[in-house]
Amino acid sequence: MDLFAKIKEVTELQAISGHEGPVRSYLRDKMTPLVDEVKTDGLGGIWGIRDNQETDAPTILVGAHMDEVGFMVSHIEANGTLRVVEIGGWNPLTISAQRFTLYTREGAHIPVISGAVPPHFLRGAGGQSLPSAGDIVFDAGFTDKEEAESFGVRPGDVIIPWSETILSANKRHIMGKSWDNRYGVLMVAELLEHLKGQDLPNRLVAGANVQEEVGLRGAKVSANLFDPELFFAVDCSPAGDVYGNQGKVGDGTLIRFYDPGHLMLPNMKDFLLTTAEEAGIKYQYYCAKGGTDAGAAHMQNKGIPSTTIGVCARYIHTHQTLYAMDDFLEAQAFLQAIVKKLDRSTVDTITTY
């Protein structure tokens, strides 16, 4: 299967925070033949463990997150339309006039669209103010509340963006939903596949957390469960290149040295830059305004030096993200080089102050 086909497969899965089952099943199938043990944590994170016979081998945790952003039905109106709450962060301007799928408790898949006020209704009204997610109508075409309920729709049902993953005309870029963070999910699967049959100088635990988009929740659980000496989040960040900011699509993996919840430690930065230079990795510096699971993991237990191995993509947290396949390849080569170097001596160097 070529890279585009792999990306299409994983990005078209439907799984928002707290409802990550389809991605968990995907990862379980991919990881099981490649690891010594597959383990789930108490919230539903899934992990492949490659054991090491050396008693002092360091434990390295590499974690993506399975969830994408979406919505949850808050209540059903008398006219059959739906109101929602956000699951993860949304720009209200990107919500209206889009297609979604509603998943009921019984497993029905119901097409839904998000409403948009026609310009005709805005004439003479002074324009439209910026709506909140709770103000936007979600419409499945039901005639009234009773009909919606007869199809099994209830408050708490999830609504997930529907978008086909496609190639750009130049065959270098991909357009579609959920690269944040199916990028990380595919990175973990590819990492384990490429390391198959190779000896490692560490005990590697690689997999994916749940509920990152709603507060970095799963990373706290996995960090405590496995008690690693180092943690590497694998996540996608917003590209700012078309807005004059950092993060350029096509310029390689990110050295994400700052975000509001995490500062990269000097020894970790030295290790990453040395590894990237030695391996010939294309990279760019990135100062972030949002967080990743590294921000949660690094404060667990006695403190876990952490960082994020990432790429950037335009327009994330929408139906239509754009990103470069070459960036994925650079990040994958970087992650492999990192994991192969993390022996006892190197980990001690990173964690000694």
- Give tens-digit pLDDT for 184-234: 999 999 999 999 999 999 999 999 999 999 999 999 999 999 999 999 999
Find the catalytic residue in 212, 213, 229, 330. 212
Q: What is the pLDDT of residue 1?
A: 77
- The pairing of beta strand 82-87 with beta strand 253-259: unpaired
Q: What is the pLDDT of residue 188?
A: 98
Q: What is the pLDDT of residue 126?
A: 63
Q: b/e map of 176-189 (b: 16 or more CB within 10 Å)? A: bbbbbbbbbbbbbb
User: What percentage of residues in the chain have a pLDDT greater than 70?
Assistant: 97
Q: Any idea what DSSP says for residue 138?
A: E
Backbone φ, ψ for residue 319 (5° rounding) = -75, -25
Task: Report how far residue 32's alpha carbon sits from residue 48's, in angstroms, rounded to the nearest whole number.
Answer: 7
Whether the predicted pLDDT of 135 surpasses 90 = no
Task: Report how far residue 27's alpha carbon sits from residue 21's, in angstroms, rounded to the nearest whole number.
Answer: 10
Number of H helices, E strands in the chain: 9, 18
At residue 65, the 3 state secondary structure works out as strand
307-330 per-position pLDDT tens digit: 999 999 999 999 999 999 999 999
74-131 per-position pLDDT tens digit: 999 999 999 999 999 999 999 999 999 999 999 999 999 999 877 766 666 666 677 7
Mean model confidence pLDDT for the chain: 95
User: What percentage of residues in the chain have a pLDDT greater than 90?
Assistant: 93
Q: What is the pLDDT of residue 128?
A: 63
- Average pLDDT in the 248-263 region? 97
| Domains of the chain, earliest start first | 3-68+177-351 (3.40.630.10), 77-161 (2.40.30.40)
Task: Report how far residue 47's alpha carbon sits from residue 49's, in angstroms, rounded to the nearest whole number.
Answer: 6
- The pairing of beta strand 37-40 with beta strand 166-167: unpaired
For the question of residue 106 being annotated catalytic, the response is no
pTM for the whole structure: 0.95
